[in-house]
Amino acid sequence: MNQHLHPDGVIVHFLTDGACVSCREFGSGHINSTYQVRTDRDKVYILQCINRYVFTDPKAVMENVSAVTEYLRGRVSDPSETLHFVPADTGNYYFVDEAGEYWRCYEFADGICLEAPETDRDFYESAIAFGRFQEMLRDFPADTLHETIPLFHNTINRYRLFKESLARNAAGRADEVKPEIDFIMAREDEAGTICRLLESGELPLRVTHNDTKLNNVLLDQKTRKAMCVLDLDTVMPGSSLYDYGDSIRFGAATAPEDEPDTAKMGINLDLFRVYTAGYLTACHSLTEAETQLLPLGAKIITLELAVRFLTDYLDGDRYFKTAYPEHNLVRTRAQLKLVADMEAHWDEMQKIVAEEAAKH
């Protein structure tokens, strides 16, 4: 992770309403360093230091995020449905500290952020939020976006990077992960399916969010309706299958992403149906091929995350924030168990998608 200045020394460079009276670490994102700031005028903000290991061109990230939020502002029915940045004293929406770290400040969006759905309704609403997001960006000019992480969901490339890390064995951990390697390698060909279909034009390339886990969406405090999509750093050209699939991976699982007891991990088919219903309700533009392949999107992105977590474990935990040394391995095993359980329930997953699609 970045070594950066204390946030107290940074917030003064943003044009907040009032002076900072408290600043604390906030949220459970795996990438950026996030703080919640309160001012003496009782205003609340989010201050974030962008992870430069992950985002090598933070200025490009900010250009993307500014362009997307600006675009959404003209399309949402209420301003609370999109993010609002606070300018820095330089006039930019970011501030660069002495160490070269990039910071940004958002108005705090006061909504409910969940690590797991508390009710079916919550999960349905998150599907509405991400489906609507996809729909609103339908005509966004994709060629104006920077590729903030090159080949982000190119699973073929993810396998290539995995094999390189395995060969390097930088952290000396390759010997302990033999069963996980075998499981992953047995599915290499299938993992490239979406890439190949995008390449051949059988699946459309869209402007997508690319990081659609439940804690990247806020629900309204009072109504618990979909409010605002967060974490726009990876908005880039991509596939709707990964957006749908990543929400399933994280939210329709029977255990958290880092559940150490893999016996507890599996696919919750009720939640799978709930999310599918919500997504298809809010996002009308999916082609027949996309709709049919939704289960495959869920499976491939789960496999891709296993590959990414294991790659990071082999590299010595450089990418994802970890709370303990085995964390990335635990995450890998949980994802692989989820893949195995999806395989065991494959026919049911296909049937659910077909039934829900028939209603639209």
Residues near Mg ion (CB under 5 A): 29, 216, 231
Nearest to 28 by CA among 213, 210, 209: 213
d(CA 62, CA 50): 10
User: E strands, the chain, where?
Assistant: 20-25, 33-39, 44-49, 95-96, 102-107, 111-112, 206-208, 217-220, 226-229, 236-238
Residue 65 or residue 280: which is nearer to ligand ADP going by CB? 65
Which residues, other chains included, contact 285 with Cβ-Cβ below 8 Å and sequence gap of 6+?
134, 135, 138
d(CA 30, CA 192): 25
If one asks whether residue 37 binds ligand ADP (CB under 6 A), the answer comes out as no
If one asks whether residue 162 binds ligand ADP (CB under 6 A), the answer comes out as no
Residue 45: CB minimum distance to ligand ADP, A: 8
Residue 42: CB minimum distance to ligand GN1, A: 28
* Chosen from ligand ADP, Mg ion, ligand GN1, none, partner binding at 136 (C-beta under 5 to 8 Å by type): none
Answer positive or negative: Cα dihedral of 235, 239, 243, 246. negative
Residue 357: CB minimum distance to ligand GN1, A: 25
d(CA 332, CA 240): 23
Instruction: Look up residue 51 and give its two tokens.
Output: 């992870």
Residue nearest ligand ADP, Cβ-based: 29
Residue 231 or residue 246: which is nearer to Mg ion going by CB? 231
d(CA 247, CA 125): 12
Residue 26 or residue 71: which is nearer to ligand ADP going by CB? 26
Residue nearest ligand GN1, Cβ-based: 30
φ, ψ for residue 96 (rounded to 5)? -105, 125
- Span interacting with ligand ADP, options 7-15, 24-32, 89-97, 247-255, rule CB under 6 A: 24-32
Residue 325: CB minimum distance to ligand ADP, A: 21
* Chosen from Mg ion, ligand ADP, ligand GN1, none, partner binding at 106 (C-beta under 5 to 8 Å by type): ligand ADP
Residue 148 or residue 216: which is nearer to Mg ion going by CB? 216
The residues that touch ligand GN1, with contacts defined as CB under 6 A, are 29-31, 54, 211, 213, 216, 231, 233-234, 246, 257, 305
Residue 134: CB minimum distance to ligand ADP, A: 18
If one asks whether residue 154 binds ligand ADP (CB under 6 A), the answer comes out as no
Per-residue contact flags (x/-) with ligand ADP for residues 96 to 135, judged by CB under 6 A: ----------x-xx---x----------------------
The partner residues of 112 in beta bridges, in order of sequence, read 219
Residue type, 222: K
d(CA 297, CA 197): 12
If one asks whether residue 185 binds ligand ADP (CB under 6 A), the answer comes out as no
| SS3 category, 4 | coil
If one asks whether residue 230 binds ligand ADP (CB under 6 A), the answer comes out as yes
Residue 171: CB minimum distance to ligand GN1, A: 19
d(CA 150, CA 155): 12
Residue 217: CB minimum distance to Mg ion, A: 10
* Chosen from Mg ion, ligand ADP, ligand GN1, none, partner binding at 34 (C-beta under 5 to 8 Å by type): ligand ADP
d(CA 163, CA 123): 35
If one asks whether residue 68 binds ligand ADP (CB under 6 A), the answer comes out as no
* Chosen from ligand ADP, Mg ion, ligand GN1, none, partner binding at 346 (C-beta under 5 to 8 Å by type): none
If one asks whether residue 342 binds ligand ADP (CB under 6 A), the answer comes out as no
| SS3 category, 28 | coil
d(CA 178, CA 210): 29
Contact 5, 98 (CB under 8 A): yes
What residues line the site for ligand ADP (CB under 6 A)?
26-27, 29-32, 34, 46, 83, 106, 108-109, 113, 215-216, 230-231, 233
